[in-house]
Structure 1
């Protein structure tokens, strides 16, 4: 068995965790075996622990985009055995953030002329050098920065930070560039196929059930529900 890999992506506050788990619940109701894996693994890996300090603003010196990219990639490399086990034993593996997050976030931190090179560098690091499995489908949850920021403020206290907004969430300029990068990656099919789903319509947030129904239609179009 080799799982169909779905990576749920998007800016902070768009509902990635909610949709990842809602999709898993729906697929399980169809008798599919599903593993949900979220990144970073703050309490499970050395790199995840370092990222926790960084996102809480506790880094002793500035962290460059390259250093951050390596830390996020190492977090997945340390967890690679668990990833491979999940892929081997399930019909579906759903990631709440995966390789595309690292590509989009780190490219958002460098000048515009350097973004393409950064995207290629991070993709090569994770998928080629570290040999992480490539997702069959990336899902971009599209939501504007202002609404997403408000939703972050409504989240309950999180295990990895005592801040209302972590270092990434607090930077609206970064969040805007991040969204540009995600749209570019989706248009280019980087690092693999995408589907884009709007989280709101006519100013109203869509329900997780509605979003999952749209997403499952795309999965079915790709033949995964029939063959998984």
Structure 2
């Protein structure tokens, strides 16, 4: 079997940039890898995800319970795995994922009372890794960024057009809750945490990449 490396973080934290840089490092090292990203918007399997994020089932994330919403993303991942990267994974390649099961924890846990987080986490891991038989990550790196900094980067991405944001991105309160959920999951599931901003100042992509590469090499994945 190969290895599964996941980059996780709030919207706007720079996951795509760091995924690209990390894949470049694998390319340079001659390490066989495959890049995947979730949701897989180019495929029909993401149809329910799109409807949910566009507000078709309710304009607030809270309008869809976390178990139902999680299932939309899980099915999309299952379709991607079985159609596109299962063979590469089983052949020994490193799979570099921009988001994964981990995102269901970041964005669905905030919908529940804190006392239910452990039970939901146990349910989700069983649902995706046992029931759907999806690979378990060998390493998850959470790119931690303050919601304020992430929102600023999202504003630049969408050029101030709030209509382009999905129902998760539109709510600063929900993003803040997502960060707390992610830090809980990082501690519970032993994710590696990389801080993307300190004392209100953004670190450069190169600085963040250097820390990520140190972690990846320390886990003998590169």
**TM-score with structure 1 length normalisation?**
0.87
Structure 2: distance between partners of 1:3 and 1:183? 27
Contact 1:142/1:196 (8 A) holds in 2:
yes
Shift of residue 150, structure 1, vs aligned partner: 1.2
- Asked if 2 retains the 8 angstrom alpha-carbon contact of 1:103 and 1:123, the reply is no
Q: Return the match for 2:97 from 95, 98, 103.
A: 95
Distance 1:209 1:89, change over 3 A: farther
1:113 corresponds to:
115
**2:8, 2:140 within 8 Å by CA — same for their partners in 1?**
yes
For residue 175 of structure 2, what is the aligned residue in structure 1? 175
| Partner Cα distance (2:44, 2:88) in 1 | 17
- What does residue 147 of structure 1 align with? 149
Q: Runs of 4 or more off by more than 4 Å in structure 1?
A: none
Asked if residue 208 in structure 1 is aligned to residue 205 in structure 2, the reply is: yes
Displacement after TM superposition at 1:127 (Å): 0.8
Whether the 8 Å CA contact 1:45–1:78 is kept in 2: the answer is no
- Pairs aligned (count): 217
Please, which runs of 5 or more residues in structure 1 have no aligned partner?
none
| Structure 1 residues 203 and 173: CA distance shift in structure 2, 3 A | closer
Deviation at 1:209, TM superposition (A): 2.3
Deviation at 1:16, TM superposition (A): 0.9
Scaled by the length of structure 2, the TM-score of the pair is 0.89
Residue 60 and residue 203 in structure 1: after superposition, are their counterparts in 2 closer, same or farther (change >3 A)? closer
Provide the residue aligned with 1:36 in structure 2: 35
RMSD of aligned Cα (Å): 2.1
Change (3 A) 1:86 1:209: farther
